[in-house]
Structure 1
Amino acid sequence: MKIAIIPARGGSKRIPRKNIKLFHGKPMIAWSIEAARKANCFDRIIISTDDAEIAEVARNYGAEVPFVRPEKLSDDYATTVDVIRHAVNWLSYQGQTPKLVCCIYATAPFIQVEDLLQGLKLMKASECHYAFSATTFAFPIQRALKIDGHGKVSMFQPEHLLTRSQDLEEAYHDAGLFYWGKAEAWQRAEPLFGSASRLVMLDRHRVQDIDTPEDWERAERLFQLL
């Protein structure tokens, strides 16, 4: 059994009601639900939320909301792994233990069906425990700068001051769209970023955090261009 779980708590502070705020004519969460449905690879699409309004919107777009997320997993300190582990354990208690679970973020309007299917392919073709979306850094991280308490600038890795960019190792970061994982990996709370994980590479122009009003505005413009 393959399950999609979309975490969507109601307490977003920097962008109030972010998960159901209209984004190009649809509640933000609808884009994630529709991508999961179009992928046609999930037996169930479940929303983990503590919020009645989010639950209603999610059901209107074809997702299930079979439980209310506990309050202790709905604050600013609950991790993605904690939330998904709770959902997997809930399913197990119902006698419906899944084999593979894909966490899809509720604020992922740039997600594509092909991304999800590529992640599933990686899970089936390798011994990995997780497969998640990622992209490259736009600038060599070896040349990153820092500023001390007196405003003085220095390099994190000064040994690379004169190293040519093409000779520096490529670096990657989490794209924050989705995370495929084996159910037992979620239940054991294994770290997402480790040797048992594989990357689904995305073009940088499809990766945009949506945490502030400025992020939201940029995402809307980017979405329109794409």
Structure 2
Amino acid sequence: MLLASAFAFGNAAENHTTTLFVDHGQSAKITCSYRPTNDIEIMTVDLQKLNHTLCYLHMNSWKNPDCKNHIRFMWIKETMEISFELPNLQIQDTGTYTCTVKKIVKPPEEVRGVERVQVIVRPVLSLSCVKSPDGSPMILCSVGFYCDSLEQLWIRDGEILNSSYSHDSVNGSFNQKSYLILPPQTFTDTIYSCWVNHSSLNKPLVANLSSSVCYERGDLTVILAVAFVISAVLTAFLTIVVVLQ
């Protein structure tokens, strides 16, 4: 779990913005920054993303918070720490989360702290064997990421190969795909690498795949197809023999 934010004290409502990088599938803990007071029993906490409330709590109902997306509210009475755990983060969860703490004495309502945390989920890279429309074996490099430009390269034995890319967008996240057509099979096994770099990464991602894996899967498909044809022919032959008898 990754942690963002810390307590802050002062005479005015605290207003911070921090950035938090998270690996795909990890959880993140957002600790709200605010000025604690003796009026804690009449405080409210609101966690939002893009002006949509994800979790809202009143001190009287902190035992039963109204939270979405399995977000977990945490309250430590001894230290008066208010925080939220965002579990199993996906690419589309990237965005700015705002935690607002208010003292709701009337009048007036007073904002005690505003904490903004930009959560960025790092790209996810995968390689797989696929087939072209004519049945030729290909390798697919697929990358899920959020915003910013993405660098993607194919490498074979240290040589950068030419390739084309396509991408689509779903809920603000992107998926970039690149297909590499394999040459005719030889006795030499070749390792192909898909290299990816993104502003959220400490270092580029690299995934490797052996060409023999894709060739073997192709051969298996052919063998299964031939076996099916032979089985069908034998079945038809035996049917004819039975009828003639």
Provide TM-score, normalisation by structure 1. 0.21
Q: Comparing both chains, which one has the higher relative contact order based on Cα–Cα distances under 8 Å and sequence gaps of 6 or more?
A: 1
Larger Rg: 2
Larger helix proportion, structure 1 or 2?
Answer: 1
Larger strand proportion, structure 1 or 2?
Answer: 2
Provide TM-score, normalisation by structure 2. 0.20
